[in-house]
Amino acid sequence: MRFPLIAGAMSRRFPQKSDRLIALAYFSNSLGASAGALLGAFVLIGAVGLPGTVMSAGLVNIALAVVVWFVANDDAWSSPPDRAKQSPAPSHLAVGVGALLCVSALTGAASFMYEIAWIRMLSLVLGSTTHSFELMLSGFILGLAIGAMWFRSRLEQMQNPVRFLGYVQAAMAVLALLSLFAYDQAFFMMSQLLNVLERTTTGYIWFLLASHGIALLVMFRLQFALE
């Protein structure tokens, strides 16, 4: 609910560069979610428990509400957009809005189908612990964030974004197949890792870092393309 409001505010305040700013906002939002998953699992739950973790998230939201309250008092954010300064939509984007919305919905559905499948598959490699789940979830969201940032720097260079979208959909299918080969190697990497690591606190830290790396190896390339 919050991201559409942020995107709408940016489009209203900076219509000439709203596409790049929205991509940057999506990157920031996803990067924060990826970091928050790790912070909640490895720091907050152990320090303040589940109720304290929920309260911490609530306090962050309250602090953000105060910041947004002061930002909203700036007349520049509440003034109506200047339609004369906005460029007309390119002719190659004269494709049905309904068709693009359908593509967007199906892409999102495919993304979370991948997420569920990968988490189930990787749990066989990393284990089914809470820490393993958070590492996989963080890796999944991090791929979304980096993909949004990568496209942000290339939006103005795309002559035909709709055609490029078709190329991305094809790349997603290819990368999904390639992720199976990476997944097959993940078992070998994990077995070698368990043979060399000691059962100590330091060894567990290295195990978690390596587990995150394995999750990124399997998921990152495709999640990058999904955005």
Q: What residue ranges do the domains of the chain occupy?
A: 2-81+96-226
- With a pLDDT cut of 90, the percent of the chain lying above it is 14
Mean pLDDT by 10 residues, the chain (227 residues): 82 79 86 91 92 94 89 66 53 63 85 84 86 88 83 74 82 83 87 89 90 84 50
Q: Which pLDDT score, from 0 to 100, does residue 225 have? A: 47
Q: Which pLDDT score, from 0 to 100, does residue 32 have? A: 92
Whether the full predicted model's pTM is greater than 0.75, yes or no, is: no
Q: Which pLDDT score, from 0 to 100, does residue 1 have? A: 77
Whole-number Å distance between alpha carbons of 143 and 34: 9
Q: Which pLDDT score, from 0 to 100, does residue 47 have? A: 93
SS in 3 state form for the chain? CHHHHHHHHHHHHCHHHHHHHHHHHHHHHHHHHHHHHHHHHHHHHHHHHHHHHHHHHHHHHHHHHHHHHHHHCCHHHHCCCCHHHCCCCCHHHCCCHHHHHHHHHHHHHHHHHHHHHHHHHHHHHHCCCHHHHHHHHHHHHHHHHHHHHHHHCCHHHCCCHHHHHHHHHHHHHHHHHHHHHHHHHHHHHHHHHHHHCCCCHHHHHHHHHHHHHHHHHHHHHHHHHHC
